[in-house]
Amino acid sequence: MSKKVLFSFFIASISFIVVEPLAYFAGQYLQEKGVFYRPTVGSSYSSYLVYRDPVVGWPAPSSYGAGDRDRTGSRIVPAFPDPDEHEACISIYGNSFTWSSDVASEHAWGNVLAQWANCRVANYGVGGYGTDQAYLRFKNNEMDSAPIVILGYLSENIMRNITQYRDLVYAHGGLGFKPRFIFDENGRFTLIRLPTIAASEYIQFVHHPERYLEHDYFAPGGPAGIRRLDFPYVWSVAMAFRHFIIQTKIKGVPWYADFYQSDHPSQALPIATRILGMFEQEARSRGKQPLIVIYPTVLDLLYYQKEKVWIYQNLIDDLHSHAIEPLNIGIGMIDYIGDRDPWQLYTDHSAHYNRAGYELVAKLVYDFLINHRIMSRN
């Protein structure tokens, strides 16, 4: 009997010695993909506290009038570069797809739209923004006098709206602290302001963000399935299958798809709907004509080509129930590419639109504005 026990122990030990290193390297790979949380110390945290935007986090107000931004905070509009000489007829808000990352300012879709509309289009898009930040930037931008205002919504934003620290969603995101909205215990829609972590606590925060971010759905150890890569690594890797990225890979859907379910525990869908509704109300209260533009990722187009369903259809339905008609750019893109590879509209390295993709966005927005008589053809 003792020989059998010793033999079993020997086999288990050998298996552990062989499997544990394999699990460690598998864990390292998954950590690079954001499945495991890896503490990343951002540079110059003390400087960040001084220069950050106190409401939305970034960009720093001191960057206005420098680089690619004019004094109003808009991206430079080559067609109408001087905001003092040319008053904007349209203003646009959102993330990097609104800013038009990966192309020069002259090819940004806002500038292309300005050329077709023959008037300045102020571009207040900011890379990495959630819908909450874009809405707050519009709400607090008293310099915006444009009669038409557009909020760009990327399908991935469904996740950005439920985090307070973008490094938890996008590995190595840096010093991306942000505000977010929640439904409190009384059902009220409440703004949770930008987290303020003292410089003396920053290192502690990096290693244990869950102790500081009470309202971040993606905090390690929380319901999103994000964990740390700890010994024993076999157990860590096994538990990683709870992570939403792994789950969506198994289902064969985009990594943010589950967050569009109405019963998702994060409440991401009703939160996104409420923010977009507040944007609509804020714009109309200021005498502006609002438009919500939904940008598809390449994953959305690939999924639609296969299933003929938009991952974000529940959001569109919710907006329709509130008498809000968004412009789903995906429809025009599918009409344009048909069954061809959607990557022809995106850059290979970042999955942003390329020059042709942004030009198509400008055309679809311009046609919508004309066809719905929001503006007249010039």
State the CB neighbour count (10 A cutoff) for residue 129.
31
State the CB neighbour count (10 A cutoff) for residue 27.
22
Residue 24 lies in a domain: no
The domain in which residue 88 lies consists of: 64-160+266-371
Q: Is the pTM of this model over 0.75?
A: yes
pLDDT in tens, the chain (378 residues): 576 666 565 555 665 677 888 888 887 888 887 788 888 887 789 999 999 999 999 999 999 999 999 999 999 999 999 999 999 999 999 999 999 999 999 999 999 999 999 999 999 999 999 999 999 999 999 999 999 999 999 999 999 999 999 889 887 667 889 999 999 989 999 999 999 899 999 999 999 999 999 999 999 988 887 888 888 888 888 887 888 888 888 999 999 999 999 999 999 999 999 999 999 999 999 999 999 999 999 999 999 999 999 999 999 999 999 999 999 999 999 999 999 999 999 998 889 999 999 999 999 999 999 999 998 887
Residue 93 lies in a domain: yes
Token representation of residue 152 = 């760009």
Strand partners, 293: 152, 327
Residue with tokens 């690619």: 68
Whether the CB-CB separation of 99 and 159 falls below 8 Å is answered with no
Letter for the amino acid at 13? S
Residue 128 lies in a domain: yes
Residue 279 lies in a domain: yes
pLDDT of residue 14: 66
Whether the CB-CB separation of 316 and 353 falls below 8 Å is answered with no
How many Cα neighbours within 13 Å face the side chain of 346? Answer: 20
Residue 47 lies in a domain: no
Q: 121: domain CATH number? A: 3.40.50.1110
pLDDT of residue 245: 84
pLDDT of residue 236: 83
**Cα three-residue angle 241-254-171, rounded to 5 degrees:** 65
Cis-peptide into 59, omega within 30 deg: yes
Number of domains in the chain: 1
Residue 209 lies in a domain: no
Those residues whose C-beta lies under 8 Å from the C-beta of residue 190, and which sit 6 or more positions away, are 181, 182, 183, 184
Q: What is the 3-state secondary structure (H, E, C) of the chain?
A: CHHHHHHHHHHHHHHHHHHHHHHHHHHHHHHHCCCECCCCCCCCHHHHHHHCECCCECCCHHHCCCCCECCCCCECCCCCCCCCCCCEEEEEECCHHHHCCCCCHHHCHHHHHHHHHCCEEEECCCCCCCHHHHHHHHHCCCCCCCCEEEEEEECCHHHHCCCCEHHHCCCCCCCCECCEEEECCCCCEEEECCCCCCHHHHHHHHHCHHHCCCCCCCCCCCCCCCECCCCCHHHHHHHHHHCHHHHHHHHCCCCCHHHHCCCCCCCHHHHHHHHHHHHHHHHHHCCCEEEEEEECCHHHHHHHHHHCCCCCHHHHHHHHHCCCCCEEHHHHHHHHHCCCCHHHHECCCCCCECHHHHHHHHHHHHHHHHHCCCCCCC
Residue 184 lies in a domain: no
Let me know if 335 is exposed, middle or buried by CB neighbors in 10 A (0-12, 13-18, 19+). Answer: exposed
Instruction: Return d(Cα 179, Cα 197) in angstroms, integer.
Output: 13
Residue with tokens 């985009």: 254
Whether the CB-CB separation of 312 and 297 falls below 8 Å is answered with no
Instruction: Return d(Cα 251, Cα 198) in angstroms, integer.
Output: 41
Residue 318 lies in a domain: yes
Token representation of residue 357 = 């993709």
